[in-house]
Amino acid sequence: MAFARSRFDGWRPLRGLLVRLQHPSVIVVGSFAAVVLAGTAVLMTPWASREGTATGFENALFTATSAVCVTGLIVLDTASYWSGLGIVVIGALIQIGGFGIMALVSVVVLLLAHRFGLRMQLSAQMETKSLSIGEVRRVVQGVFLVSVSVEAVLALVLVLRLALHHGYSWPRALEYGVFHAVSAFNNAGFALYTDSLVRFESDPWILVPVALAVIAGGLGFPVWFELWRHARHSGRRQWSLHFKITAGTTVLLLAAGTALITLLEWRNPATLGTYTTAGKLLNGFFHGVMPRTAGFNSLDVGEMRPSTLLVTDVLMFIGGGSAGTAGGIKVTTFALVGFVLWAIVRGEPSVHVMGRRLDTGAQQQALAVALLSIGGVMVCTLILLSTTRFSLDQVLFETVSAFGTVGLSTGITAELPTLGHLLITLLMFVGRLGPITLATALALRTTGRRYELPEERPIVG
């Protein structure tokens, strides 16, 4: 009996490893990494480049990571370097990344096992926030339908505009319209133009639909599902706290971002200074939306004032809604940190938001995600400042853009050394997965304490 027990005990480390590998956070990271590596392998082939030459591992990895993490930062010009196959692969990687890793994992599990384990259900619920465990299958279907519907509408608008107003042939208009529709809704920022969307700076029929698609993707699927439910059940008027926080903070950030960027660049001759009032308002709105992690630009970002870059840094770091295609720490995290600070300033023992008491676990998750994200961005900024010749404005903008999976740049991405490219690649990956996996891990890891130590209060301030 002792021999049998000892032999059984020898498998415990292996069983422990298998249990850890089945943790939702590991599944999320592993799934994303697998897609990135697969995309890298295809992009390295000679058929993926226009010149028919193989692409180096560093550039292929950077491009694949930027596409899967729906960032939009590039080291090789998308329009001139990649072949038709390369562009299709980039578009497919954007779609996979934007679809959301939780939805992707849910589909795989449904196909293989036709049911969810408790851990996967809880993880899926964490990603989809207000949705119950029994609705996961409908979540996956809803995510797909919303994505395809918005992309189809935007593609139709872009195709018609490019063909009827800009003189594109119908096949070329279809190619450009579909690609930019996928890129816009998924907040990717990849463009088939060397100047992004600068050539359409005075065309509201291009800029406004793209901006609206970016907002739609950045709201998050729980918001869209709740809107759909209210449309079906008009008598139900109770909105969830998640919906109210996301919608309210989004409107506030869009208004503040548009106003600040427009006013700060109003007289800058290199950006908005030479435009008419209508043109200033149009491009100011467009650039107020893009830091939600889209990455398109209709103005030269490198010519913006340092104050504008700082405002854009803040907007990029915050990002968009949870369980959507946007990156950043998410608007809910930003709002929750603000609510916690307001309660502390007022000396209240608990945090109350819109008629509800805020869960302590949610407060801890928001503070952990925000502070760890700030620390990561600062460390990467310090490393790049120490290894490159670029200014603080440029480097901070680049690192925040990478972490927030935005894709905006002052033009230094391609000029970074190999260490810089690898660091930005890692930051894009962490920025896309970090807030999700960290929040999920914190939600699943709740441990009780059997005893408390004596209390002592240090001096603060």
pLDDT of residue 120: 43
| Domain membership flag for residue 244 | yes
HEC assignment per residue over 374-418 = HHHHHHHHHHHHHHCCCCHHHHHHHHHHHHCCCCCCCCCHHHCCH
Q: What DSSP letter does each residue of 224-288 carry, written as one string?
A: HHHHHHHHH-TT-----HHHHHHHHHHHHHHHHHHHHHHHHHTT-TTTTTTS-HHHHHHHHHHHH
pLDDT of residue 140: 74
Token pair of 389, please?
Answer: 């010749």
Range in 178-187, 295-304, 449-458 the model is least confident about: 449-458
Quick one: which of 124, 170, 161, 230 has its CA closest to 444?
Answer: 124
pLDDT of residue 142: 78
More confident residue, 7 or 244: 244
Distance CA 62, CA 1 (A): 56
| Domain membership flag for residue 190 | yes
Token pair of 96, please?
Answer: 């996979």
Core vs surface per residue 292-313: b (16+ CB within 10 A) or e: bbbbbbbbebeebbeebbbbbb
Mean pLDDT computed over 349-367: 84
Distance CA 313, CA 290 (A): 11
The per-residue pLDDT for range 47-90, each reduced to its tens digit, is 999 999 999 999 999 999 999 998 999 999 998 999 999 999 99
**Contact 165/205 with Cβ under 8 angstroms?**
yes
* Residues in a beta bridge with 353: 356
The length of the chain, given as a count of residues: 461
Residues contacting 9, CB < 8 A, separation 6+: none
| Domain membership flag for residue 72 | yes
| Domain membership flag for residue 455 | no
**Confidence label for 28 from pLDDT (cuts 50, 70 and 90):** confident
| Domain membership flag for residue 453 | no
Q: Is the pLDDT of residue 125 over 50?
A: no
| Domain membership flag for residue 5 | no
pLDDT of residue 449: 65
More confident residue, 261 or 431: 261
**Contact 122/444 with Cβ under 8 angstroms?**
yes
**Contact 289/254 with Cβ under 8 angstroms?**
yes
pLDDT of residue 264: 96
Distance CA 40, CA 282 (A): 37
Q: Is the pLDDT of residue 300 over 50?
A: yes
Q: Is the pLDDT of residue 443 over 70?
A: no
Q: How many CB atoms lie within 10 A of CB 1?
A: 5
Computed over every residue of the chain, the mean pLDDT equals: 84
* Residues in a beta bridge with 356: 353
Q: Is the pLDDT of residue 112 over 60?
A: no
**Confidence label for 324 from pLDDT (cuts 50, 70 and 90):** confident
Can you say whether residue 114 is alpha, beta or left, with left for phi > 0 and alpha for psi between -120 and 50 degrees? left
Mean pLDDT computed over 243-247: 91
Q: Is the pLDDT of residue 16 over 60?
A: no
| Domain membership flag for residue 123 | yes
Distance CA 257, CA 425 (A): 27
**φ/ψ (deg, to 5) at 123:** -65, -40
Quick one: which of 192, 408, 214, 413 has its CA closest to 301?
Answer: 408
Q: Is the pLDDT of residue 122 over 60?
A: no
Share of the chain above pLDDT 70, in %: 82
- Which structural domain range is residue 188 located in? 23-442
The per-residue pLDDT for range 209-231, each reduced to its tens digit, is 999 999 998 888 778 878 888 87
pLDDT of residue 63: 96
Q: How many domains are contained in the chain?
A: 1
pLDDT of residue 438: 62
Q: Is the pLDDT of residue 337 over 50?
A: yes
Query: HSE (CB half, 13 Å, CA atoms) of 291?
Result: 30
Q: What DSSP letter does each residue of 77-89 carry, written as one string?
A: -HHHHB-HHHHHH
More confident residue, 135 or 349: 349
**Confidence label for 135 from pLDDT (cuts 50, 70 and 90):** low
| Domain membership flag for residue 334 | yes
pLDDT of residue 418: 94
The per-residue pLDDT for range 385-423, each reduced to its tens digit, is 999 999 999 999 999 999 999 999 999 999 999 999 999
**Residue 56, SS3 per DSSP:** coil
Helix (H) or strand (E) holding 356: strand 356-357
